[in-house]
Amino acid sequence: MFSYLLRRLLFFVPIVAGVMLLTFALFFMVQSPKAMAHRVLGPKATPKAVELWLHNRGYDKPLLINQIPDQPWHDSLFISQMRRLATFDLGRSDVTGRPLSEVFRQGALPSLLLTVPAFLAGLAMSVGLALYLVFIRNAAADLFASLLCVALMSVPVMVYVIFGQYLVAQVFNYFPAFGFQLNGWSTAKFLFLPIALMIVSGLGADVRLFRALFLEELGQDYIRTARAKGVSSAVVLLRHVLKNGLINLITLVVASLPFLIMGSLLLENFFGIPGLGNVLFTAIQMPDFAVVQASVFLGSLLYLGGLLLTDLCYAWADPRIRLH
Amino acid sequence: MSILKKIRRSALLAAVFLCPMLGGSCSNNPYPAPTQETGADGSPWKVRYGALSEDPRSLDPQVCYDTVGKRVIEPVQECLLEYHPFKTDPYELQPCLLEALPERVAGEGGKTTFRCTLKSGILFHDDPCFPGGKGREVVATDVQYAFQRIADPKVECPALSTLQDYVAGLGEVFEAARKSGEADYSRAISGLQVTGKYTFEIHLTQVYPQLLYWLAMPFTAPVAREAVEYYDGKAHDGIARDLFRFHPVGTGPFQISEWKRNTRIRFVRNPHYRTTTFPKDGWNPARAAELEPLAGRSLPLVDEVCMTIFRESIPIFLLFRQGYLDSMSVGKDAFSSLITPGRDLSEKYKERGVTLHRDTEPSTYYMSLNMEDPVLGPNRKLRQALSAAFNTPTYLDIFYNGVPIVAQQLMPPGIAGHKKEFRNPYGYNLEKAKALLADAGYPNGRDASGKVLELTLDTSGGSADERLGAEFEQRQFEQLGLKIKVVENPFARLMEKLDQGSFQIAAGSGWGADYPDPENFLFLYYSKNIPPAGKNASRYKSPEFDGLFDQMATMENGPQREEIVSRMNALLAEDVPHVLLMHRSLFSLSQPWAPRIQSNPMLEGGLKYAVLDPRQRGELQKQWNSKSLWPIILLLVVFAAASAAGIRAYRRN
């Protein structure tokens, strides 16, 4: 187990380095550092002001390898940034100069307040509804629910957001249409609507998937045995199908856990929640390469961490699996 | 507990939770409670609510240049001079931190000295950077420090490139700091001489009357050295301090009391503010009844301002309709709901007491034509034909809802030299355009060999709107029989192309006034400002224009200057280094309880003049935000029906 963990962790290094190189290449292939400076400084910036901006942020260095005579080969933009990231120094925003560790720290909580309840409640509702549909399978209500799920899946998230904001916040006046305030339980009034929309927008796909998983489980031999012994349908579903079906869910669910911290780009923007989705959205729009780079760095670490966690959980939940 | 009981209990809990939350106890007001309920005199605490599109990038007065930053810093950081809130035709400067407008002393060889005297007794905001947390008095050395910061390469002051050409010694100090890598603040700038506690002189190397406008910008505003040194972004005694660029310490009517990144910025009134009072004149006589009662009153007129950051425009409209925003700009998303085809406010909003304002920015937008291009440069008739082929009124109708003004000249309204009666001789006229094209050697868009003339149009971005805009522009020129190749560029790439001169026709060019002087527009075509030196992107070179510019740039406004500006306008109109498009105008709305007071587009909101009737707002907000109960009942019925169906199914099994 230990050697497996160590091996997986060592694999992280080349993978993250590769991701960073790819991000660097993609970003600067799309636009040069000079173009980024133009964007940040605006159309009135003179070429001299652009040069000064680049120099103060080290963007006037060679991109990958320094081939300027009398200068060390490793004094390049990419290598200096990688050396910094290797020590988990995220640096400062290119646009505002704020330390990125502070930016990410401040953005993580609002994101988690939105995504964790939505994830947990969404999961509970999806599993509950999927079980219910399995319970009444092939009935008219099951058919209707399947159609409803397809309809829910087909509606773009943006439509849910605009419609929800208009109807619930504007017409019914139940919740603030926009805004966020971290203040104990009263924070809930800003989160209720985006959480509800996040759940509804993902419900159709999740229910369909979980229903299929549970139906597959229902066809197993041990279920037939349980039924033959006279166990009721409800108990079969809640005790056996649910428990064994959850092992399959682990692979789907655990890998997505680390991403909860990255928030929801769309909902955060439309509801004014100052989370990390909002930070990333602004950084891409600007563009702020330092923020994008740090986000990709953290995102790739989270993704790899999620995959590792999935494997560990799978081995824990299913005794047939052994990690070597 | 049986499964049935669990389901019943969950349903009950959900009902208990939902009913009070949706039905009444949950307010849809998105704002935190005001800092205070009442003022010191017992009057209601007045809070204005506004919108920002993003966080300001920097509130360092020597750096702040973007629209959002300027809006946020204006109420916090006062300048040496300021714009009169009502005098806009022509614009007029008035003293702010200075006692009076600077006294100008002419020297030898065009050298000029501006003698300035600061008002005494003006205090910086109370702030921990000062001993005891009490703001100290503003003195002349604070202005000297501001100029030293302009010359510090690490500060990145956008005004440096212009001011170093005029203020003695500024460029030398900058170059020395750039070479050594560190600014030496013990080194004085010869062009800024402190002559007393409140007095200082600015020495210019050449005549430059526009310096007065720079004194009305935050770049030259006094800065407390203690504040810059205190807010260094590092931890002190375990507490991390902000950077100075996020914590301005000014003398303005408001102080920033809270800045939640990506959420909101709140300002509270500066209790020591006494720099200026409400003007006693200058307004339109039609507004006398409204404004006379305010004349001479202490400022600001409200106690608190809360600016919320909206990255999307739809929520702005929602909050305005609920009465939670006091004003808003009319964007594309809400245009058809608010504005009638006759460009008036819709009846529904008139009944609510909302007022519509139309503001024209001192700006001009155009398409640049490259004068160094071998096809366009030497062929004036061809450029004239392109200009005459472009149907600007239709373009503005389609893409800007017909709100902006069609630009007939480079100078926007309100700037000296703008002639209302002047008409662009090469404005839209397709027949004339075709004739001009034939004269240019391209009848029906073909050259002598019969080959179709192909030109490249560089545009910015790849959004749906921008793509449609580019298609429209392409179609306009292709009406002449030409072939137009459209190249979409990211904004920054287009800027690079403009700087490098690697384009033929470039869309999306424009200029908003830094200050309301014709020099600030005409310098866009001065040959010494061809990039990289400046922003003459068209690379226009005309000895006559340059001569007139040299003459006009240093003159005071008056009939003689206007005559020269008219001649320069005529030269540009005939030479056509651009296809003129518009002077940008915007519609904005204000709620009945928050009528707009100031009307000067050179001010960034003029928050110190803002007024508010909190009682009327309270009443109307209550009326506009009543809750409906039927959706809750419907929701509970659906929930109960689903639970009952589940229970029945369970029992059957």
CA separation for the pair B6, B415 (Å, rounded): 75
CB-count exposure of residue A67 (10 Å: 0-12, 13-18, 19+) = exposed
Output the six-digit token pair for A127.
Answer: 């599993």
Q: What is the Cα Rg of chain B in Å?
A: 29
Output the six-digit token pair for B115.
Answer: 């003698």
Please, which residues have CB within 8 angstroms of residue A267's CB and are 6 or more apart in sequence? Answer: A114, A161, A194, A197, A198, A273, A277
Tell which of A174, A242, A285 to mutate to test the B interface (max B CBs under 10 Å). Answer: A174
Residue B598 has pLDDT above 90, yes or no: no
Write out pLDDT tens, residues B327-373. 999 988 889 899 998 889 999 999 999 999 998 889 999 999 999 99
Residue with more model confidence, B631 or B392: B392
The helix/strand/coil state of B202 is strand
Phi, psi (deg, nearest 5) at residue A35? -65, -35
Q: What is the Cα Rg of chain A in Å?
A: 25
Tell me whether strands B505-512 and B454-460 are parallel, antiparallel or unpaired. Answer: parallel
DSSP state of B43: P
pLDDT at B251 (0 to 100): 97
Write out pLDDT tens, residues B397-436. 999 999 999 999 999 988 888 999 999 999 999 999 999 9
CA separation for the pair A273, A264 (Å, rounded): 9
What rounded mean pLDDT belongs to chain B?
91
pLDDT at B25 (0 to 100): 52
By the 8 A CB rule, do B314 and B331 touch? no
Which helix (H) or strand (E) covers residue B363, if one does? strand B363-369
Residue with more model confidence, B122 or A227: B122
Closest CA in chain A for residue B157: A49
C-alpha distance from B240 to closest chain A C-alpha (Å): 10
* Chain B from 374 to 433: CB within 8 A of any A CB: none
CA separation for the pair B139, B136 (Å, rounded): 9
At residue B123, what is the residue type? L
Residue B156 has pLDDT above 70, yes or no: yes
Residue with more model confidence, B8 or B199: B199
Question: Range with the lowest mean pLDDT among A29-43, A72-86, B173-187, B518-532?
Answer: A29-43
* Chain B from 486 to 545: CB within 8 A of any A CB: 490-493, 495-496, 499, 509-511, 514, 531-535
Centre a 10 Å sphere on the Cβ of residue B132 and count the other Cβ atoms it contains: 8
Contact: B315, A47; criterion CB under 8 Å: no
pLDDT at B5 (0 to 100): 61
Task: Give the rounded percent of residues in chain B with a pLDDT score beyond 90.
Answer: 74
pLDDT at B650 (0 to 100): 67
CA separation for the pair A23, A297 (Å, rounded): 9
Question: What is the mean pLDDT for each group of 10 consecutive residues in chain A (324 residues)?
Answer: 83 87 79 78 78 85 83 85 84 85 91 93 92 85 90 91 86 90 89 94 92 89 88 83 82 76 85 90 83 88 86 80 74
By the 8 A CB rule, do B111 and B203 touch? yes
Contact: B26, A174; criterion CB under 8 Å: yes
CA separation for the pair B111, B125 (Å, rounded): 36
pLDDT band at residue B24 using 50, 70 and 90 as cut-offs: very low
State whether residue B110 sits within 8 Å of chain A by CB.
no
Please, which residues have CB within 8 angstroms of residue B7's CB and are 6 or more apart in sequence? Answer: B643, B646, B647
Contact: A282, B510; criterion CB under 8 Å: no
Output the six-digit token pair for A122.
Answer: 């969404």
Residue B11 has pLDDT above 70, yes or no: no
The helix/strand/coil state of B382 is helix
CA separation for the pair B32, B143 (Å, rounded): 37
pLDDT at B17 (0 to 100): 52
- Render the burial of B348-384: b for 16+ CB within 10 Å, e for the rest: ebeebebbbeeebbbbbbbbbbbbebeebbebbbbbb
Output the six-digit token pair for A148.
Answer: 């409803």
Closest CA in chain B for residue A185: B26
**Distance from the Cα of residue B273 to its chain's centroid:** 25
| Span B302-318, average pLDDT | 93
State whether residue A278 sits within 8 Å of chain B by CB.
yes
pLDDT at B555 (0 to 100): 87
Residue B297 has pLDDT above 90, yes or no: yes
CB-count exposure of residue A259 (10 Å: 0-12, 13-18, 19+) = middle
CA separation for the pair A300, A19 (Å, rounded): 7
pLDDT at B8 (0 to 100): 57
CA separation for the pair A70, B565 (Å, rounded): 53
The helix/strand/coil state of B477 is helix
The helix/strand/coil state of B254 is strand
Residue with more model confidence, B267 or A58: B267
Closest CA in chain B for residue A189: B26
By the 8 A CB rule, do B329 and B52 touch? no
For chain B, give the number of residues.
Answer: 653
| Span B109-138, average pLDDT | 95
At residue A147, what is the residue type? L
B90 preceded by a cis bond (ω within 30 of 0): yes
Residue B452 has pLDDT above 80, yes or no: yes
At residue B23, what is the residue type? G
Taking the C-alpha atoms of B533, B539, B544 and B548 in order, what is their torsion angle to the nearest 10 degrees?
Answer: -50
pLDDT at B21 (0 to 100): 52
By the 8 A CB rule, do A106 and B246 touch? no
The helix/strand/coil state of B118 is strand
* Chain B from 43 to 62: CB within 8 A of any A CB: 54-55, 57-58
CA separation for the pair B244, B251 (Å, rounded): 15
Output the six-digit token pair for B317.
Answer: 């409209």
C-alpha distance from A247 to closest chain B C-alpha (Å): 23
Contact: B262, A282; criterion CB under 8 Å: yes
**Distance from the Cα of residue A73 to its chain's centroid:** 37
- Render the burial of B89-118: b for 16+ CB within 10 Å, e for the rest: eebebbbbbbeeebeeeeeeeeebbbebbb
Contact: B493, A35; criterion CB under 8 Å: yes
CB-count exposure of residue A213 (10 Å: 0-12, 13-18, 19+) = buried
By the 8 A CB rule, do B404 and B582 touch? yes
